Structure 1
Amino acid sequence: MNSAGHGDAPAHMGLDLMPFRGLRYDPARVGSLAAVTSPPYDVVVRPDGLLHLESADPHNIVRLILPQAGTPSARNERAAQTLDRWITEGVLARDPEPALYVYEQRDATGLVQRGLIGALRLSEPSDGVVLPHEDVMPHIVADRADLMRATRANLEPLLLTYRGDGRTTGAHAVVKRATGRAPLLSTTTEDGFGHRLWAVTDPADIAEAQRDLAGHQALIADGHHRWATYLRLRAEQPSPGPWDFGLVLLVDTARHPLRVRAIHRLLPGLPPAAALSALTGLFRVRHLRTPLTEALHALAEAAGTGNAFLLAGDGAYHLVDRPSPDLLARTIPTDRPEPWRTLDATVLHATLLKHVWRIPEDSPEQVAYIHDTASTVEKAERDGGTAVLLHPVQEDIVRTLAQQGITMPRKSTSFGPKPASGLVLRRL
């Protein structure tokens, strides 16, 4: 059996998850494992969250996934130098033999999520093995590709989901056996989540998990830009080779259903008064004098009957719903299926951003994507911009569209819990 990095042609068209020698922090060389972890790069709320993580420990993974310097090339060079230095100093050490890694997340509410981390053979969307469900932004893919070229490493795993068949054998059995042993690491991060990691090195266990996964396809739950980056770099590099694979976490959502949250928009250059004025006669607007939690309940109720958004930034909340049918007919592309045309994210991008507010969605200066609801509102109020809060899409709609080869507007969903960055890396 080959470890990832040897690109023999796959014997099937299902998921092909390979073991690899994980690169992990030496607990003796850092303050604590929790202090060197980070949320995924695109969830870090900058600049406050970035500064907080950098100060948590001088070896925090954020110094690799979001390096800071005056120019993009200098940032990537700094990340590569930092990674090399940490390996030389023994802060990061490669495990002695290839493994699949069982990863568990657990919170105080009783949620338990378990999955397998490995190096997944890359496939094109047309193969139907890994299904993207969102469009990507080219400048982010280019940024991630430059970083990955410089470091020659997969610094954080993508989150992929598949639907197991409920059997007690296969990948489930491998995961269960592993969690009966002492873990490689155990830590609790400041968000209250406990994290544990086990290495599966027995060839029989690895083969059992691989046979099971070979019969499944996966949905990209988090990491579309990194997946697109994997594909771009594979096309650039010699094959067979390590670039034929990418670091992923595979979770069976039949056993561990993920939470689905919305990703909100911050429009820093659009004052709330101007945003609301432009909606006159096009949407119904109701002004709410309620706390955020109650306003979100009102959004959920409105979203149950049609497109709805919650605008904020002026100290109040404004529920926007019931778009004009004529407006939708004029602005929503008709070459997509009905489930896509009626998505809130579709209406937001095609109708509100493009036609009503005339804001280019490709401009990072004019549209920011933020996962945390309260942070989106706070930034809008502080900067004088408009926060657009969305209600999450159901996973079955996401999966159905993906299986039809239809991608949703970029940053439409946030699946979680997301894997912590910094627990295991893959050096190419």
Structure 2
Amino acid sequence: MDSGVVATPTLVARPFRLEPFRALMLAPNRIGAQASARSFGRPYRDVAERFATWQRAGQVTHDDQRALYLHEYTTSGVTIRGLVGALDLTRDATNLDEVAVFPHEGVHPPQATELADRMAEMAMNPAPILLTHQAPAELRRLLDSARTGAADHQFTDRSGQYHRVWAIHDATVLDRVRHKLRDVRALIADGHHRYAAYGQLRADHPGLAPGTDAGLAMLVDQEDTPLFLGAIHRILAGLSLADLEQLGSAVQMAAGPQDAIAALAPTTVVVTDGHDWATLELPRADDRLAVEILHEDVLPTLPQPSADIGYAHSVDDALSAVARRRGLAVLMPVPAFTDVLRAAEHGRLLPEKATSFQPKPSVGVLIRSLRDE
């Protein structure tokens, strides 16, 4: 697999449309269980039969009528709420002004193709991609009113996530929601490769149409129940702080980890070998994010092949990595959501693993069959 090739997925054009669908849902005692997650693994062709077995055993429900679903989940004290539906993929954008869904990272085409083949074998979208946006007040009020009654489903799954799901069936409400969604410009928070795979499904598996004309998506209002946006740190194997000398006065040694980490800023990263600590002031003459400047301006000047870059989602993981193997941990500042969105709206793709949006919902709460259309 040529994983070094990065591409921009096909861009969906406005109006933004989330269509009702008939949701499949695993039994609460299966959601969040590792065994259930593994059931979506290879061999993919067996998933449909597993589902049939589970349905016969009463472990899967399948809604009788189409709906949009308001899904709220809580984990570790954080509550996220999003609208889940079938994202219409039938109109491709020809310019940035038309785009409804913005990627902010590129995809590796072989990985997208593999995921498309996996979904074709399963004949389902097993989990929604996560989209986020800043909803207009009218849409927020409309969705708030949709959850005034008792939830259709309410449970705590095996991983400890607490879920509430409201099915929106009323035709009048669905029409109002459709109208309010038309001008949405959403950012992909999680699922870039699955988003690309949705497009690949349409191209490579025409026998599954019209089910492949849409892909399962969850739209989260970043102003209402925001996903936590975190940084992903870089590990540069084999390098030492001495290798940064060529960067001159941009590198300043720090007294210790507390002083260094306190200096993290939109244009300042922290570099450590696990023993000594330094700050690196990034050159900035435009609106690029720190991760863009690091990869485009700084790393190419160092004796470090890009293939040797590792990633860590926490400072502790980054320090553990350089403790196990000689190298440098580059601790990144947390990007601002508005900066990530602005970069995407200008058509820029950030370097791989530039952002971490959390928490994600457990797999199995809402599943979409490709054979229901």
Same fold, TM exceeding 0.5?
A: yes
Residues 151, 165 of structure 2: 8 Å contact kept:
no
In the alignment, is the contact (CA less than 8 A) between 1:14 and 1:129 conserved in 2? Answer: yes
Cα deviation per residue 1:45-87 (whole Å; 9 max; x = unaligned)? xxxxxxxx3xxxx3x22441xx3xxxxxxx3xx1331342233
| 1:303 partner SS | coil
Task: Work out the CA distance in 1 between the residues paired with 2:316 and 2:44.
Answer: 31
| 1:178 paired residue number | 147
**How far, CA to CA, are the matches of 1:215 and 1:186 in structure 2?**
33
Cα displacement (A) at 1:134: 2.0
TM-score w.r.t. structure 2 length? 0.81
Question: Residues 412 and 155 from structure 1, CA distance in 2 versus in 1: closer, same or farther, beyond 3 angstroms?
Answer: same
Q: Which moved more, 1:81-90 or 1:204-213?
A: 81-90
Letter in 2 for 1:198: W
User: Per-residue displacement from partner, 1:175-233 (whole Å, max 9, x unpaired)?
Assistant: 4333521331321564x643222222222222221121123221212222221221222
Which residue identity is paired with 2:278? L
What residue identity is the alignment partner of 2:45?
Answer: A
| Structure 1 pair 179–318 and aligned structure 2 pair: CA distance change class (3 A) | farther
Unaligned runs of 5+ in 2: 1-12
Structure 2 residue aligned with 1:61? 37
Distance across 1 between alignment mates of 2:54 and 2:74: 32
> Hey, what does 1:348 align to over in structure 2?
294
Aligned AA for 1:236? D
State whether residues 125 and 367 of structure 2, in contact with CA within 8 Å, keep that contact through their aligned partners in structure 1. Answer: yes
Identity of aligned residues (%): 30
The alignment's C-alpha RMSD in Å is 2.9
Does the Cα contact within 8 Å between 1:35 and 1:189 map onto a contact in 2?
Answer: yes
Partner of 1:318: 277
Contact 1:174 1:208 in 2 (8 A): no
TM-score by length of 1: 0.72
Match of 1:390 in 2: 332
Distance 1:114 1:424, change over 3 A: same
The secondary structure found in structure 1 opposite 2:300 is helix
8 A contact 2:32–2:158 mirrored in 1: yes
Deviation at residue 275 of structure 1 after TM alignment: 3.5
Aligned to 2:115, which of 139, 144, 151?
A: 144
Match runs of 1:41-120 below 5 Å: 53=34, 58=35, 60-64=36-40, 67=41, 75=42, 78-90=43-55, 91-107=59-75, 109=77, 111-120=78-87
Aligned to 1:265: 234
Q: How many residues align?
A: 348
Question: Which position in structure 2 is the counterpart of 1:422?
Answer: 364
* Aligned counterpart in structure 2 of residue 211 of structure 1, from 179, 198, 212: 179
Change in Cα spacing, 1:243 to 1:301, as seen in structure 2 (3 Å) is: same
Q: Alpha carbons of 1:157 and 1:302: their partners in 2 closer, same or farther (altered >3 Å)?
A: same
Equivalence for 2:261 = 299
CA drift at 1:346:
1.6
Contact 1:310-1:390 at 8 Å conserved across structures: no
Listed one character per residue, the Cα deviations across residues 86-119 of structure 1 (whole Å, up to 9, x for unaligned) are 333324342222221111123554x432111111
Alpha-carbon displacement from aligned partner over 1:346-400 (angstroms, at most 9, x marks no partner) = 233224443313323xx4xx33444344334334433555443311110111111
Per the alignment, residue 405 of structure 1 pairs with: 347
> Per-residue deviation at 1:34?
4.9
Contact 1:23 1:92 in 2 (8 A): yes
Q: For the residues of structure 2 that align with 1:241 and 1:211, how far apart are their CA atoms?
A: 23
Q: Could you tell me how far apart the structure 2 residues matched to 1:124 and 1:275 are? A: 47
- C-alpha contact 1:300 1:391 (8 A) present in aligned 2: no
Bigger mean CA deviation after superposition, 12-21 or 280-289: 280-289
Letter in 1 for 2:14: M
Helix, strand or coil at the partner of 1:135: coil
After TM superposition, what 4+ stretches of structure 1 lie above 6 angstroms from structure 2? none
Alignment-derived partner of residue 23 in structure 2: 22
User: Greater share of strand residues, 1 or 2?
Assistant: 2
